């Protein structure tokens, strides 16, 4: 049959079915001009299939092929809605003519030949008819039939679900119950077209449900004809497209918003194909650069805004190629106005990908940064200028700081020299005078028997006072500058001082210093002695500790001093100032300055169980400074 029909250029076989049920589904889907079918088919005979197709799709012509020549069989075919009947034995001669006639809605009856009548299994037909009816009932679309007065005659479950009316509520009522009042004229026009035998396809309108909800509906209305071809009613297929219409409106609104944003944004926006061809450009990209729409669309991006900048053209082409691979590109660039003016822009190329990740378009955006670059250049110049000024001031401050430090070092040196001089004066001058007074008092004491008792007691008291004064003068002299420091060295001087300190303060102090410690440069020994002196003074004044420990060690290149106590520790606020370099008190600052002059470092660690002060001094630096000081003094 396909080969017979395919030989005609005006015939096209649009589908084939394996049985009547499949044929009905294909007819609903493809809506052909002619359906050609046999009578004996699996599950359903051709008569029932023809009747169902005719009721649902009355505009489709049906041609029955049969091997039975019985007139009763052909009558049943026509009663089922067929327009043509051809014996299979005559297909080669009559099939093309029959299809041609049926496609024009004309009846075709093949001449009768010798044939044997056959009976039809009515029970099987009823069962297969029920199965075809189930197809209609299971459709997601509402399938409704009505007469020419607009009264509903059938109503499938989908119609009940979509419109809310049950079969009992719908059948027998006018179809206008579903039509809004303002659209009632539609039904009049539809009935007029149906009576003329016209089919109405995909007519989009609005219908009302039982609850009053308005639905967007797509209607296909076909006339139902009797065996004589007269229109006796209509079949409607209604599809709920409310969600689709809503989605289309949202998409349209979003498109309008995007279109407005694209047109009104102040940034340059250009849509490109993946090869760099300009598809669209917004107002800013055109008006801001002086180009017209027709001068831009269809040209390569780099041939428009970079036409006179060859190096920038190469960069733009490379950037487009990179974006076409799915990579976002952002860069600063030069670009050209239509009048040839060169300006600067911040350019970004964003690839647009489909749901599979393939790049389908590139969106180029740019902001003019010419004035920004100028301001940035001015700011950078001003920053460089100001930085230079600050560097000069910093150098001057450093120079002044160095001068202050030199003065401080000189002051400490002068202070030590003055202490040494005063100590020597106290020992040599005052000490000699006290010795002379003591000798005079001794001479008077030998004559004490000639004195009155009161004078003798006064003489004894004066001798005792003189001895105390001598002791105090000697102690002050040694504290100002212990002679042991110059004569014997650091170990003896420290031990003498510690013994005196312990006696005066009642604080037990231990000294750990190796027997073979040896001598250090004089200025280094003085510095260490003064640090110990200051540390023990602070322990006595502030720590509340009853013990202290001093440890002095040396290596080939440096000497280290550690002084520890077991007191209350340094307050947290004071420790914070120490950590930030803001030393508190004259004593700590003096220690740090002495050590700094010698190239040394001071560290202070404290907690609730005590404080440790560590001083580290390089021996070589100290020796060099002593040599320089000696040379300065000699000069």
Q: At 621, which CATH number?
A: 3.30.565.10
Same domain, 534 and 624: yes
Residues 269/348, Cβ–Cβ less than 8 Å? no
| Contact yes or no for 58/225 (Cβ under 8 A) | yes
Is 607 a member of any domain? Answer: yes
What pLDDT sits at residue 118?
37
> Domain check: are 449 and 504 in the same one?
no
Q: What is the pLDDT of residue 335?
A: 94
Most confident of 15-19, 430-434, 610-614: 610-614
What distance in Å separates the CA atoms of residue 137 and residue 393, rounded to the nearest whole number? 96
> Are 627 and 498 in a shared domain?
yes
CB-CB contact of 623 with 521 (8 Å): yes
State the Cα–Cα distance between residues 562 and 512, nearest whole angstrom. 10
Residues 103 and 148 occupy one common structural domain: no
Helix axes 20-30, 122-137, angle to 10 degrees: 30
Q: Is the residue at 388 inside a domain?
A: no
The average pLDDT across 74-87 equals 85
Residue with the bigger pLDDT between 448 and 211: it is 211
Lowest pLDDT segment from 343-352, 429-438, 447-456: 429-438
Boundaries of domain holding 441: 395-481
> 38 or 275, which is more confident?
275
573's CB contacts (< 8 A; 6+ apart) are none
pLDDT of residue 177: 92
If DSSP codes are grouped into helix, strand and coil, which group holds residue 573?
helix
Question: At residue 614, does pLDDT exceed 70?
Answer: yes
The Cα 333–Cα 35 span in angstroms is 68
Q: Give the residue-averaged pLDDT of 361-367.
A: 92
Evaluate if residue 549 carries a pLDDT over 70. yes
Q: Residue 63: which H helix or E strand, with range?
A: strand 61-66
- Supply angle C-alpha 27, 30, 36, rounded to 5: 45
- Residue 40 is assigned to a structural domain of this protein: yes
Q: Is the residue at 251 inside a domain?
A: no
Query: At residue 586, does pLDDT exceed 80?
Result: no
- Assign 227 a pLDDT band (cuts: 50, 70, 90): low
3-state secondary structure of 273: coil
Residue 597 has pLDDT above 60, yes or no: yes
> Tokens representing 556?
């080939």
Q: Quick one: pLDDT band at residue 186, thresholds 50, 70, 90? A: confident
Residue 309 above 80 pLDDT? yes
pLDDT at residue 210, as a whole number = 93
Highest average pLDDT, of 134-143, 324-333, 510-519, comes from 324-333
The whole-number pLDDT of residue 352 equals 92
Cα separation, 172 vs 191, in Å, equals: 17
Q: Tell me: do 560 and 625 sit in the same domain.
A: yes
Give the mean model confidence (pLDDT) for residues 286-313: 92
Which residue has tokens 């440069």? Answer: 521
pLDDT (0 to 100) of residue 522: 83
**The domain boundary residue, chosen from 246, 262, 289:** 246
Q: What is the tally of structural domains in the chain?
A: 5
- The CATH number of the domain holding residue 306 is 3.30.450.20
Closest CA to 532 of 579, 491, 584, 569: 491
Over pLDDT 70: what percentage of the chain?
A: 86
Of 42-56, 326-340, 592-606, the poorest mean pLDDT is in 42-56
- The predicted pLDDT at position 256 comes to 76
Say what the pLDDT of residue 122 is.
43
* Residue 228 shares a structural domain with residue 87: no
Q: Is residue 386 part of a domain?
A: no
pLDDT at 78: 85
Q: Are residues 288 and 191 in the same domain?
A: no
| 129 and 162 together in one domain | no
Reply yes or no on whether the pLDDT at 113 is more than 60: no
Has residue 433 been placed in a domain? yes
- Residue 441 near residue 455, CB atoms below 8 Å: no
Does the structure show a pLDDT above 80 at 500?
yes
Indicate the average pLDDT of the chain.
82
Answer positive or negative: Cα dihedral of 496, 501, 507, 511: negative
Give the per-residue pLDDT at 202: 84
Residues 231, 282, single domain; the answer is no
Q: Is 362 or 438 the better-scoring residue by pLDDT?
A: 362
When computed from its CA atoms, the radius of gyration of the chain, rounded to whole angstroms, is 59
Mean pLDDT of 167-196: 88
What pLDDT sits at residue 343? 94
DSSP E strands: which ranges in 460-609? Answer: 508-512, 547-554, 558-565, 601-607
In a domain, 98, yes or no: yes
Q: How confident is the model at residue 631 (pLDDT cuts 50, 70, 90)?
A: very low
User: Is the separation of the CB atoms in 527 and 592 below 8 Å?
Assistant: no
Per mean pLDDT, which range of 317-326, 356-365, 394-403, 505-514 is the poorest?
Answer: 394-403
- Is residue 85 pLDDT above 80, yes or no? yes
Mean pLDDT of all residues in 211-232: 85
The band of 402, judged by pLDDT with boundaries at 50, 70 and 90, is confident
Lowest mean pLDDT among 455-459, 465-469, 473-477, 578-582: 578-582
Shared-domain flag, residues 406 and 543:
no
Look at residue 380 and tell me if it is in a domain.
no
The DSSP result for 158-214, as a single string, is HHHHHH---HHHHTTSBGGGGS-GGGHHHHHHHHHHHHTT--EEEEEEEEE-TTS-E
Phi, psi of 479 (to 5 degrees): -70, -40
Question: Is residue 570 scored above 60 in pLDDT?
Answer: yes
Calculate mean pLDDT across residues 544-566: 92
Domain boundary among 413, 447, 481: 481
d(CA 511, CA 608): 23
Q: Which residue, of 133, 161, 179, is where some domain finishes?
A: 133
Helix (H, G, I), strand (E, B) or coil at 278: strand
Nearest to 304 by CA among 344, 276, 266: 276
Contact (CB, 8 A) for 498 and 535: no
374 has pLDDT over 50: yes
Q: Is the pLDDT of residue 375 over 60?
A: yes
Confidence of residue 196 (pLDDT cuts 50, 70, 90): confident
The average pLDDT across 614-628 equals 68
Query: Given a cut of 60, is residue 630 above it in pLDDT?
Result: no
- In this structure, the answer to whether residues 47 and 168 fall within a common structural domain is no
What CATH number has the domain bearing residue 114?
Answer: 3.40.50.2300
Average pLDDT, stretch 380-399?
90
Whether 78 and 143 map to the same domain: the answer is no
Percent of the chain topping pLDDT 90? 26
């Amino acid at each position: 049959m396909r080969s017979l029909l395919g030989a005609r250029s005006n015939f096209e076989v649009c589908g084939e079915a394996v049985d009547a049920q499949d044929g009905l589904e294909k007819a609903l889907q493809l809506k052909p001009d002619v359906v050609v079918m046999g009578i004996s088919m699996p599950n359903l005979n051709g008569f029932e299939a023809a009747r169902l197709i005719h009721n649902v799709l009355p505009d489709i012509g049906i041609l029955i092929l049969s091997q039975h020549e019985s007139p009763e069989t052909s009558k049943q075919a026509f009663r089922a809605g067929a327009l043509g009947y051809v014996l299979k034995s005559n297909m080669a001669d009559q099939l093309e003519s029959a299809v041609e006639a049926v496609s024009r809605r004309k009846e075709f009856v093949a001449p009768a030949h010798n044939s044997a009548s056959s009976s039809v299994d009515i029970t099987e037909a009823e069962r297969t008819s029920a199965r075809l009816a189930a197809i209609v009932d299971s459709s997601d679309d509402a399938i409704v039939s009505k007469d020419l007065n607009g009264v509903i005659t059938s109503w499938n479950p989908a119609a009940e679900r979509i419109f809310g009316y049950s079969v009992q509520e719908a059948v027998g009522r006018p179809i206008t119950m579903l039509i809004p009042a303002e659209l009632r004229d539609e039904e009049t026009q539809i009935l007029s077209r149906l009576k003329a035998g016209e089919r109405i396809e995909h007519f989009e309108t609005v219908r009302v449900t039982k609850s009053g909800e308005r639905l967007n509906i797509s209607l296909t209305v076909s006339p139902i004809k009797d065996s004589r071809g007269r229109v006796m009613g209509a079949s409607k297929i209604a599809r709920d497209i409310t969600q689709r219409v809503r989605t289309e409106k949202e998409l349209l609104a979003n498109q309008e918003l995007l279109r407005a944003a694209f047109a009104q944004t102040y940034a340059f926006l250009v849509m490109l194909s993946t090869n760099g061809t300009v598809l669209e450009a917004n107002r800013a990209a055109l008006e801001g650069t002086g180009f017209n729409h027709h001068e831009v669309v269809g040209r390569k991006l780099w041939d428009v805004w970079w036409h006179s900048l060859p190096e920038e053209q190469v960069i733009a082409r490379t950037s487009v190629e990179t974006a076409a691979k799915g990579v976002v590109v952002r860069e600063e660039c030069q670009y050209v106005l239509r009048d040839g003016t060169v300006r600067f822009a911040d350019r970004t190329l964003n690839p647009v990908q489909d749901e599979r990740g393939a790049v389908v378009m590139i969106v180029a955006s740019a902001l003019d940064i010419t004035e920004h670059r100028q301001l940035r250049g001015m700011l950078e110049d001003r920053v460089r200028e100001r930085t230079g000024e600050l560097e000069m001031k910093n150098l001057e401050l450093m120079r002044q700081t160095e001068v202050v430090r030199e003065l401080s070092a000189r002051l400490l040196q002068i202070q030590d020299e003055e202490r040494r001089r005063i100590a020597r004066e106290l020992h040599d001058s005052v000490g000699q005078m006290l010795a002379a007074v003591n000798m005079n008092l001794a001479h008077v004491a030998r004559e004490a028997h000639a004195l009155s008792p009161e004078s003798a007691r006064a003489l004894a008291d004066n001798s005792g006072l003189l001895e105390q004064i001598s002791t105090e003068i000697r102690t002050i002299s040694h504290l100002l500058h212990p002679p042991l420091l110059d004569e014997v060295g650091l170990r003896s001087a420290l031990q003498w001082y510690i013994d005196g300190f312990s006696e005066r303060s009642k604080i037990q102090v231990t000294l750990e210093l190796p027997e073979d410690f040896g001598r250090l440069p004089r200025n280094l020994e003085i510095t260490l002695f003064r640090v110990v002196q200051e540390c023990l003074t602070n322990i006595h004044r502030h720590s509340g500790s009853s013990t202290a420990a001093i440890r002095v060690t040396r290596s080939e290149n440096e000497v280290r001093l550690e002084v520890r106590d077991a007191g209350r520790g340094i307050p947290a606020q004071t420790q914070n100032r120490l950590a930030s370099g803001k030393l508190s008190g004259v004593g700590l600052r003096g220690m740090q300055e002495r050590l700094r002059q010698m190239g040394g470092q001071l560290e202070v660690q404290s907690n609730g169980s005590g404080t440790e002060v560590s001083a580290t001094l390089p021996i070589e630096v100290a020796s060099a400074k002593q040599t320089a000081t000696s040379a300065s003094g000699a000069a």
